[in-house]
Amino acid sequence: MSYKDIVIFTDGGCSGNPGVGGWAFVMSADNKFVTEQSGGSKFTTNNKMELTAVINALKTCLVTGCDTIIINTDSQYVKNGITSWVINWKKNGWKTATKQPVKNKELWVELDSLNCQLPVKYKWVKGHAGIELNERCDTLVGLEMDKMKLG
């Protein structure tokens, strides 16, 4: 199936950092709900879960055609990382400006690869601000963390 515009909201979180974590995304296309997915990990970090949410969302987009994908994230880490920092990280052999290895490199490499294959734009949204699909992601993240705590 092919769409004109795909809009995705993503979220990730942890109870403790590191700790039990969850990630989620909600996808709509051409103003209609398409899908939502979520998952979790027993021991992770908030940043890993934020990245995992975007990666899984973009993997879903690989099988659809579209003109534009808009990723809405409440993570400045994800938005700034993929739209700005990654350029220099790659030039510097995946080292930061202070010559330290980039944290979560394997996730950044995967996200960068997906980003290069798809027509993605990133938008920062304020978390917990009543944005319906962002709030849905937050709820899914909480449910995943609860599952991880019980399991």
Active site residues: 11-12, 50, 74, 128, 138
Cβ atoms of 96 and 102 within 8 Å: the answer is yes
Query: Running DSSP on this structure, what letter comes out for residue 2?
Result: B
Q: Rounded to whole angstroms, what are the CA distances from 29 to 7, 57, 60, 111?
A: 6, 13, 12, 21
Cβ atoms of 7 and 70 within 8 Å: the answer is yes
User: In 1-122, which residue ranges form alpha helices assigned H by DSSP?
Assistant: 46-61, 76-80, 86-91, 105-117
